[in-house]
Amino acid sequence: MNLKALCKPAALAAGGLACAAGAAAQTPDMAAMEKWATATVIHYEVTGVLSDKHVQIPAADADQYADVVEKVTLSFDWDKNKQAFVGAPKIANHPTQVTNLVGMGDGCPAGEMKGTYEHFDALALTANGEGAAELTGVRKHPDTMVAESCGAGLKLYKAADEPVSTWIGPPDPAMMAMGPYLPKDSPIKITPDGKSIVMTALNNNWVWTYTPSVK
């Protein structure tokens, strides 16, 4: 088995993840690969962290922005042969960290948030049958007071929710045997303890850490 084959499910995640070329020619840890090759159902504990800059906070096109950090944790059993979940995935959302609230530009009032902003509240995780899964949820915009056109007066923009989604690709744990041979610039990393796979999306700022175990 080569690295290209191991990476196929990840590459299906809406183009968001990719594997590095060239590592497949290396010699993997065959004992580790055999351990995972005999397993059919893999349990994953997953942490996803998103860091976005200058995010628009109101539910409309208005000049109030902030830097946000979002965190989602997932727990599920995955049949790696059927490319499907076994049972229902568990989803836990964490409060969005909102910092650096700013207005239209330097020197403009930052406005006010009248509630809690949640950048990505995950609700469901659905496999597509081809090795990837869509994580769907909502973005919760609070009531906001915005200094329009850098003016002194504040305009109210009402709270609203909007649908959001992103894709993940549960990796084959045998990939951990290839850790020493991954290029330094690969979007896939193996943690120093060799127990987790870290996958950085290429089409957004999500970073996913998968910790697998044999079910």
Domain that holds residue 119: 3-214
Average pLDDT estimate for 1-7 = 48
Residues whose CB is less than 8 angstroms from the CB of residue 20 and which lie 6 or more positions away in sequence, other chains included: 3, 182, 183, 185, 186, 187, 188
Is the dihedral angle over the CA atoms 14, 15, 16, 20 positive or is it negative? positive
Average pLDDT estimate for 97-124 = 94
Q: What local confidence, expressed as pLDDT, does residue 1 receive? A: 43
Give how many domains the chain has, as a whole number.
Answer: 1
End-to-end CA separation in angstroms for the chain = 22
Quote the tokens at residue 140. 């919760």
Average pLDDT estimate for 114-127 = 98
Phi, psi of 26 (to 5 degrees): -80, 165
Say if residue 32's pLDDT is above 50.
Answer: yes
Per DSSP (E only), the strands in the chain are 41-56, 65-79, 84-93, 97-102, 112-113, 118-127, 133-141, 144-146, 155-157, 160-168, 188-190, 197-200, 206-214
Q: What local confidence, expressed as pLDDT, does residue 212 receive? A: 96
Q: What local confidence, expressed as pLDDT, does residue 96 receive? A: 98
For residue 115, give the 3-state DSSP assignment: coil
Q: What local confidence, expressed as pLDDT, does residue 182 receive? A: 83
**Distance between CA atoms of 115 and 64, rounded to whole angstroms?**
14
103: confidence class by pLDDT, cuts 50, 70, 90: very high
Average pLDDT estimate for 42-52 = 98
How would you write 39-93 as a 3-class SS string?
A: CCEEEEEEEEEEEEEEEECCCCCCCCEEEEEEEEEEEEEEECCCCEEEEEEEEEE
CA angle 186, 125, 78 (to 5 degrees): 70
Mean pLDDT of the chain: 87
Distances (CA, A) of 168 to 28, 78, 173, 194: 25, 13, 15, 21
Average pLDDT estimate for 124-146 = 97
Q: What local confidence, expressed as pLDDT, does residue 24 receive? A: 41
- Picking from 16-20, 100-104, 149-153, 177-181, which range would have the lowest pLDDT averaged per residue? 16-20
Average pLDDT estimate for 59-87 = 96
Instruction: Sheet containing 118-127: give its strands across.
Output: 118-127, 133-141, 160-168
pLDDT in tens, 146-177: 998 887 789 999 999 999 999 999 998 988 88
CA angle 125, 126, 131 (to 5 degrees): 115
Average pLDDT estimate for 52-62 = 95
Q: What local confidence, expressed as pLDDT, does residue 20 receive? A: 42
**Distance between CA atoms of 110 and 95, rounded to whole angstroms?**
21
CB-based contact 173:212 (threshold 8 Å): yes
- Picking from 28-37, 43-52, 187-196, which range would have the lowest pLDDT averaged per residue? 28-37
Q: What local confidence, expressed as pLDDT, does residue 7 receive? A: 52
CB-based contact 19:7 (threshold 8 Å): yes
Q: What local confidence, expressed as pLDDT, does residue 27 receive? A: 61
**Distance between CA atoms of 151 and 185, rounded to whole angstroms?**
45
